[in-house]
């Protein structure tokens, strides 16, 4: 018996060691392949029409001018560009650093997944299988063409994946330290790190402010718990200090940038231009009492209606969900925003007040149509397939570098290039790559995996959310899985909040708003799959054990009945003897 037990233990140890070796070999292979895929590409980052807003503050500082705000862009990513160019003096260093941050995001995906197991200590999923799932998710993230493509962009999306990964990592660590392991110092450190990273993320990419609110929910819950007074004070002071360091410089710098005042109101106006036009028509027809004259408003309505029609004619199909092109309304030199700018002259605050007035009036008077617009944007992300997974076959780099040449072909760049050799070299290399850059191919197995994830995302998420509701409804039965269900809710809310913000202020047809969500989407989908698997294994195990339990109960019942009969028989015997005597 002892020999058999020792033999089984030895066999299990050999199996565990074998799988551990296979795991580490696969891990090294995945990261080596990911490194090769990134650094086999041209390292020059890819410029686009928005690049000037991010790059010009760094270029001005490098040529002796003042580092300032430009085109309403937050200072963090321009500061990052300045730091890299100042240290290395070569634009290729930007591509290298962003690729390294992308690799770090993949590593954080794996670390986060391994740590998630503490939330299900009695997991029915084998630890080796759990680690294999994490490795598969890491491989998909690191090797996907969209992930690599976005790291080559000369815009904040190139570092967003790293900021998302580290903010989610610290958020999960914070929940673990404060609510599971009760580690007081770790709670303060991880809570402060969570706030710092989410503020950096939302500042670098403002479309994540709603997602930042979701991440703050566990932190807010911590302040509502009893006791831990010193830790609450320490964390509160840390949050105040971090918020001051991250948000105050932006407030100071944005005062000198006129575009910072007009950017959001203008975006809201052009994105909702069709709804605002219809509301203007209704106001004119009803002779509504407004702070603007009827003649002037009628002139604006005619111009807006005409420009929307032009956008449909000139750029058909550019924004199918909106059925007009808001970029034309915003950036065309003769379009509605330019005309309104002339109408208001130098009174920027009055122009912004007009934009805000009609945006909020449209929501108040036409809430159903405004909600329809939001619902249409949500459907882009959730139905039928999730576009965060791009199963592209070929990525033609020559095309993107050709567009980059067009973006860099402006007098602003040429003027600075005369005094900054690094910029001159960058522009020349971009021209060369527009003629001879290679095309990259995504492997068939990876395309198949991404396509399957895209198709199954909605169904897996809905099933996991239904199971999560069952788990919280029947907590006594499913207590073991309550934290995993909460994590699924958390991940779903994170993605939904990101989509909601974009759906309100912009459009999810702008692909970069979706590609930056791939990390959180993939992690949430893997959590959903894990919850479904745990639920299924629990039911299966219960069904297997149920006949044995019933048999054991019948046996115990039979023994109890037999014992009662024996006891009753002894009592009758004793009473019979007593009556005889």
Residue 151's Cβ-side half-sphere holds a number of Cα atoms within 13 Å equal to: 34
- Determine contact, residues 361/295, Cβ cutoff 8 Å: no
- Pull the structure tokens for residue 499: 């989509």
pLDDT at 155 over 80: yes
pLDDT at 122 over 90: no
Determine the average pLDDT of the residues in 423-435: 93
Residue 330 inside a domain? The answer is: yes
DSSP letter string, 55-83: HHHHHHHHTTS----BTTB-SHHHHHHHH
pLDDT band at 19 (very low <50, low <70, confident <90, very high): confident
| 565-576 residue pLDDT tens | 666 566 565 555
Residue 231 inside a domain? The answer is: no
Determine the average pLDDT of the residues in 401-421: 90
Residue 184 inside a domain? The answer is: no
Residue 412 inside a domain? The answer is: no
| 191 vs 226, residue with greater confidence | 191
Determine the average pLDDT of the residues in 68-93: 90
| 338-386 residue pLDDT tens | 999 998 888 899 999 999 999 999 999 999 999 999 999 999 999 889 9
Determine the average pLDDT of the residues in 383-402: 87
pLDDT at 5 over 50: no
pLDDT at 75 over 70: yes
Does residue 264 sit in helix, strand or coil? helix
Quote the CA–CA distance of 212 and 188 in Å, as a whole number. 18
Quote the CA–CA distance of 56 and 34 in Å, as a whole number. 31
pLDDT band at 1 (very low <50, low <70, confident <90, very high): very low
CA distances from 98 to 94, 158, 295, 353 (A): 6, 6, 53, 39
Residue 289 inside a domain? The answer is: yes
Q: Please give the DSSP secondary-structure letter assigned to residue 73.
A: B
The residue range of the domain holding 296 is: 259-365
- Alpha-helix runs per DSSP H in 178-335: 184-204, 209-224, 229-254, 258-271, 273-286, 294-314, 326-331
Quote the CA–CA distance of 297 and 288 in Å, as a whole number. 11
pLDDT at 549 over 70: no
pLDDT at 142 over 70: yes
pLDDT of residue 315: 86
pLDDT at 227 over 80: yes
- Determine contact, residues 110/134, Cβ cutoff 8 Å: yes
Closest C-alpha to 64, from 410, 416, 412, 411? 416
The fraction of the chain above a pLDDT of 70, given in percent, is 91
pLDDT at 66 over 50: yes
Instruction: Determine the Cα angle at 387 with ends 382 and 388, to 5°.
Output: 100
6-15, 20-29, 110-119, 440-449 — which is least confidently predicted?
Answer: 6-15
C-beta neighbour count of 509 within 10 angstroms: 17
CA distances from 51 to 19, 395, 560 (A): 47, 21, 82
pLDDT of residue 452: 94
Average pLDDT over all residues of the chain: 88
* Residue in the structure block whose two tokens are 């831990």: 228
pLDDT of residue 569: 63
Instruction: Determine the Cα angle at 414 with ends 409 and 420, to 5°.
Output: 130
Determine the average pLDDT of the residues in 472-480: 84
Determine the average pLDDT of the residues in 215-231: 91
Determine the average pLDDT of the residues in 267-277: 94
| 515-533 residue pLDDT tens | 999 999 999 999 999 999 9
Determine the average pLDDT of the residues in 438-451: 89
pLDDT band at 71 (very low <50, low <70, confident <90, very high): confident
pLDDT of residue 249: 87
Quote the CA–CA distance of 342 and 100 in Å, as a whole number. 46
Closest C-alpha to 77, from 50, 43, 100? 50
Quote the CA–CA distance of 371 and 85 in Å, as a whole number. 44
Query: pTM of the prediction?
Result: 0.89
- Determine contact, residues 330/270, Cβ cutoff 8 Å: yes
> Bridge partners of 73?
70
pLDDT band at 457 (very low <50, low <70, confident <90, very high): very high
pLDDT at 464 over 50: yes
Determine the average pLDDT of the residues in 539-547: 75
- Alpha-helix runs per DSSP H in 324-443: 326-331, 336-344, 348-365, 367-382, 397-408, 411-417, 421-436
Q: Is 125 exposed, middle or buried (0-12, 13-18, 19+ CB in 10 A)?
A: middle
User: For residue 72, what are the contacts with CB-CB under 8 A and spacing of at least 6?
Assistant: 53, 254, 257, 259, 260, 262, 263, 264
How far apart are the two ends of the chain, measured CA to CA in Å?
Answer: 57
Total number of domains in the chain: 1
pLDDT of residue 437: 85
pLDDT of residue 554: 60
């Amino acid at each position: 018996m002892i020999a058999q037990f020792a033999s089984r233990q030895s066999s299990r140890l050999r199996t565990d060691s074998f799988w551990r070796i296979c795991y580490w070999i696969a891990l090294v292979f995945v990261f080596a392949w990911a490194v090769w895929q990134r650094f086999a590409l041209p390292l020059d980052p890819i410029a686009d029409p928005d690049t000037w807003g991010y790059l010009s503050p760094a270029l001005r500082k490098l040529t002796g001018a003042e580092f300032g705000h430009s085109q309403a862009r937050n200072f963090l990513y321009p500061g990052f560009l300045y730091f890299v160019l100042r240290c290395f003096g070569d634009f290729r260093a930007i591509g290298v650093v962003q690729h390294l941050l992308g690799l770090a995001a993949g590593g954080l995906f794996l670390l986060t997944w391994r740590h998630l197991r503490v939330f299900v200590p009695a997991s029915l999923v084998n630890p080796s299988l759990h680690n294999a799932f994490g490795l598969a998710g890491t491989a998909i993230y690191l090797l996907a063409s969209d992930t690599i493509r976005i790291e080559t962009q000369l815009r904040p999306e190139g570092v967003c994946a790293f900021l998302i990964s580290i903010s989610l990592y610290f958020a999960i660590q914070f929940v673990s330290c404060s609510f599971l392991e009760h580690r007081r110092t770790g709670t303060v450190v991880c809570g402060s790190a969570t706030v710092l990273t989410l503020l950096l993320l939302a500042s670098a990419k403002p479309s994540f402010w709603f997602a930042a609110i979701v991440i703050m929910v566990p932190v807010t819950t911590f302040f509502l718990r009893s006791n831990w007074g010193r830790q609450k004070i320490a964390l509160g002071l840390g949050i105040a200090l971090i918020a001051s360091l991250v948000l105050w410089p932006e407030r100071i710098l944005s005062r000198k940038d006129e575009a910072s005042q007009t950017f959001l109101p203008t975006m809201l106006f052009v994105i909702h231009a069709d709804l605002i036009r219809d509301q203007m028509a209704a106001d004119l027809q009803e002779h509504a009492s407004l702070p603007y004259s009827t003649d002037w408003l009628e002139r604006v309505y005619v111009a807006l209606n005409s420009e929307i029609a032009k956008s449909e004619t000139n750029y058909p199909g550019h924004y199918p969900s909106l059925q007009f092109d808001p970029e034309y309304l915003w950036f065309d030199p003769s379009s509605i925003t330019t005309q309104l700018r002339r109408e208001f002259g130098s009174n920027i605050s009055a122009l912004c007040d007009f934009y805000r007035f009609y945006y909020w009036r449209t929501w108040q008077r036409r809430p159903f149509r405004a909600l329809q617009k939001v619902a249409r944007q949500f459907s882009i992300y959730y139905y039928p397939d999730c576009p965060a997974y791009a199963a592209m076959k070929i990525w033609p780099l020559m095309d993107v570098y050709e567009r980059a040449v067009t973006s860099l072909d402006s007098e602003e760049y040429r003027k600075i290039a005369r005094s900054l050799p690094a910029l001159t070299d960058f522009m020349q290399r971009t021209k060369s790559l527009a003629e001879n850059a290679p095309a990259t191919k995504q492997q068939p197995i990876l395309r198949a995996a991404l396509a399957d994830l895209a198709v199954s995302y909605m169904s897996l998420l809905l099933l996991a959310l239904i199971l999560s509701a069952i788990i919280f409804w029947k907590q006594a039965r499913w207590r073991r899985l309550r934290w995993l269900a909460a994590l699924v809710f958390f991940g779903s809310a994170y993605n939904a909040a990101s989509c909601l913000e974009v759906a309100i202020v912009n459009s999810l047809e702008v692909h970069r708003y979706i590609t930056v969500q791939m990390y959180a989407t993939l992690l949430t989908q893997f959590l959903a799959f894990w919850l479904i698997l745990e639920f299924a294994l629990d039911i299966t195990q219960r069904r297997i054990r149920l006949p044995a339990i019933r048999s054991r109960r019948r046996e115990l019942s039979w023994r109890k009945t037999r014992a009662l009969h024996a006891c009753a028989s002894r009592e009758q015997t004793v009473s019979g003897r007593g009556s005889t005597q």
